[in-house]
Structures are given as C-alpha cells and as structure tokens.
Amino acid sequence: QDNTFKIGLILPMTGQQASTGRQVEAAAKLYMAQHGDTVAGKKVQLIVKDDTGLPDVAKRLAQELVVNDKVNVLAGFGLTPIALAVAPIATQSKTPAITMAAATSAITQASPYMLRSSFTLPQAAVAMGDWAPKNGIKSVVTLVADYGPGNDAEKFFAERFELNGGKVIEKLRVPLRNPDFAPFLQKVRDAKPDALFVFVPSGAGAAVMKQFLERGMDKAGIKMIGTGDVTDDDQLNDMGDGALGVVTSHHYSTAHPSAMNKKFVADFEAANKNMRPNFMAVGGYDGMRIIYEALKTTKGQGGGDALLAAMKGQVFESPRGPVLIDAQTRDITQDIYLRKVEKKDGQLWNIEFDVIKAVKDPGKSK
C-alpha cells in the first residue's frame, strides 16, 4: 500500500474526443514500459478513468481518485472545462495535476497545483502570426471552431498578425459539430485573401482540407495555414495528397528529426498498431517524465507540495525538442516549429523548416 505511487489519469476515452484519450494513454503506458514501473522504491500505478467528456463526471472522478484511491498525482484532461473542473480538487487536496492535452491558456491559473505538459494554443498561433506576414501573406480570413481553443487561436493569431502589418479580412466561427463547411469556405473564396487560417479539432481537419481543394481555392491562389491541429500527424496520412504544402505552426511533429524522437516514434508504433504518435501523445509522454523525475527527486518522500516543487522548473529534452516547465507559471515553454506537409517514402509528414525558440505562453504575458 504505502509502496505504491498512484497516478490518476482522467481522459476522454469514448465519444468525440476519444482519440485524444487513446493517444495520451498509449504514450503514458509507453513511458512506463520504457522506464520501468518502480521509481525511488515505489511501484508506479496508473489508474485510467473515462470522463465521457463531462466536467461534472471528471470532477467526481478526480475527487474519488483523491479521496478513495489516494492518488499522488492527477493527470490527463482532454478538454479545457474538464481541466478547470478538476483544478479546485487539486487545490483542496494539494495534489499536483498535469494537463497533458487541453490547450487553453487559463488552465494553469486555475490552481497553484496545475502544471502543463502539452502546449497552449496561443503559443502555436502567435508563431504563425509572426511567420505569415514575412512570407508574403498579407491578408487572411480566419476560420475556427466555435469553442474555447478555437477562440483562443483566432484571437492570438489575429492580434499578432495585425501587429506585424497583416490584415484579417474576416473572422469566421463554425459550430463544433458542423457537417458541411461549404458555406464558410465559399465565403472565404469570395473574400479572396492571401491565406486561410484554420483551427478545427483534429478530426474535422480532413474535411476542411478536402472541401478547400474541391472548391479550387488553392488554384485561386489562397494558401492554407493553421496551427498543427489541422494536420494532425495521426490523421495526416489519410488526408491524401491534398494536404501537401499546407503550412502550420506547432510544437511537435512526428517527423521531428532528433534521435530521441525517432526512438519514441518507433517504440510507440511498435506498441500500438496503426497509430502514429501525435502532439497529444507527446504531451502524455512528457507528463509522465515530469512525474517520474519529481518522484526521483523527492525520493518518494513528502506529499503533494514536495512533488509540485520538484516538478516546477524541470528542464529536459523531449521528443519535441527542449522544454522547460516555467517555475512561476507552471506552464510549458518550448520551441514552436513551422512545418510544411510533404511526402516522404509514400507517406505524408509535417516537415519542420523553421523554428521559433523558447516560446512562452503569450496568454500569460498580458
């Protein structure tokens, strides 16, 4: 009993966001397989719970994990409201909580025990806002899914883009469950911008891409740019050649050319057939790393506060590149890459061609 170290992983395993849960869980398990399940003399145990996408369920699960299972760390959280719902539990019970997937800026401010191993949308969006004007894109229409992350992406991209002298002609928001993108894309086409900036949840990316091509928008001289969610590595291969040439900004690509990443990808694919690790997976993987290292540092002694202290300020090499857990904001500071979809060995990849170093979450700086 005393010798176990429990991690409560709250993830969406069914429903719309199921693939997020799948990636994070697979990566977390991979990390444990690679690094063993005994750390500082403690046996690490992973308890996975399906939050079904409901914050109240997630909150109850978190509460039960803390009270009944006595977990040492909470982690996971596929959606912003879920992370926010769990935050008070983390505070009350002094349990460190690691957001491995959700990407709104505000999450880490909701509790002093909340850290992040994923990314924030502003990080990615701002990078694109810097890159685009320098590369011949002067006017843009934004098209984002109408929910938290989408609104964040729109806001931060547009601000930075206009600051750099670009012009946002129109801001479109599409409902989350939108069956047909035709009217929005037609509107974009009629507005004739240099590029279309897209943020939609990963599943819908393919649909947008297809209809973008079908509408002949590339031929009309409109480029497609966005944050990395649109060209999700997990889906990319299925999107077909239409995706070629799409430029996105993101913190992780499966094709990231580092030895560490190569091993990560190879091991991941070996353990999970038909799955490519995407940015969700790397969030889960690094989250586990943070927990393991904190456990080593504290030698299994001390409670949540000790763990938290050991988590803050970690600097390490991730499959995505160098990262730092900012001790002050508990948020992640990382490199953001600009990538272009290219074909290699008959498969599509997000190939990185530019990098903006050590990007802090811009949401915090204001």
Partner 1 sequence: MDFRQPLLQKARWRPWEYALWVVAFALPLLVPSHALMINEIAIVALFAMSLDLILGYTGIVSLGHAAFFGFGAYAAALFAKHVMPDPTIGLVVAIALSAALGAVASVTILRGSDLTRLMVTLGTALLLLELANKLDWLTGGADGLQGVVMGPVLGVFDFDLFGRTAAWYSLSVLLLLFLLMRRLVHSPFGATLKAIRDNRLRAMAIGIPVVSRLAVIYTVAAAVAGGAGALLAQTTGFASLDVLAFDRSADVVLMLVIGGVGWLYGGIAGAIVFKLLQDTLSTVTPQYWMFWIGLILVLLVLVGRDRLLKPWTWFGARKAVKP
Partner 2 sequence: MLTILFDGIAYGMLLFVLAVGLAVTLGLMNFINLAHGAFAMAGGYLTVFAMQKLGVPFLLCLPLAFLVVGAAGALLERTLYRPMYGKSHLDQVLFSIGLAFMAVAAVDYFVGSSQQNIHLPEWLRGRTEIGDGALLLGMGHYRIFIIAVCTLLTVVLQLILSKTRFGSRLRAAVDDPRVAAGLGINVNVVFLLTFAVGSGLAGLGGALGAEILGLDPTFPLKYMVYFLIVVSVGGTSSITGPLLAALLLGVADVAGKYFIPKMGAFTVYLLMILILMWRPQGLFTRKGGK
**Interface with partner 1 (CB under 8 A):** 11, 13-14, 18, 21-22, 48-50, 52-57, 59-60, 63-64, 66-68, 80-81, 84-85, 88-89, 92-93, 104, 106, 110, 146-148, 151, 175
Least Å distance, CB 117 to partner 2, is 22
C-alpha–C-alpha distance, residues 61 and 67, integer Å: 10
Among partner 2, partner 1, none, the one that 186 touches (CB under a kind-dependent 5 to 8 A) is partner 2
| Closer of 89 and 204 to partner 1 (Cβ) | 89
Applying CB under 8 A, which of residues 41, 183, 221, 302 lies at the interface with partner 2?
Answer: 183
Q: Does 309 bind partner 2 (CB under 8 A)?
A: no
Least Å distance, CB 343 to partner 1, is 32
CA dihedral over 227, 228, 231, 234, signed as positive or negative: negative
Among partner 1, partner 2, none, the one that 112 touches (CB under a kind-dependent 5 to 8 A) is none
Among partner 1, partner 2, none, the one that 106 touches (CB under a kind-dependent 5 to 8 A) is partner 1
Q: Does 221 bind partner 2 (CB under 8 A)?
A: no
Among partner 2, partner 1, none, the one that 355 touches (CB under a kind-dependent 5 to 8 A) is none
Applying CB under 8 A, which of residues 45, 109, 211, 258 lies at the interface with partner 2?
Answer: 211
Least Å distance, CB 106 to partner 1, is 7
Among partner 1, partner 2, none, the one that 46 touches (CB under a kind-dependent 5 to 8 A) is none
| Closer of 57 and 169 to partner 1 (Cβ) | 57
Contact positions vs partner 2 (CB under 8 A): 14-16, 18-19, 22, 146, 172-175, 177-180, 182-184, 186-187, 202-204, 206-207, 210-211, 213-216, 234-235, 238-240, 274-275
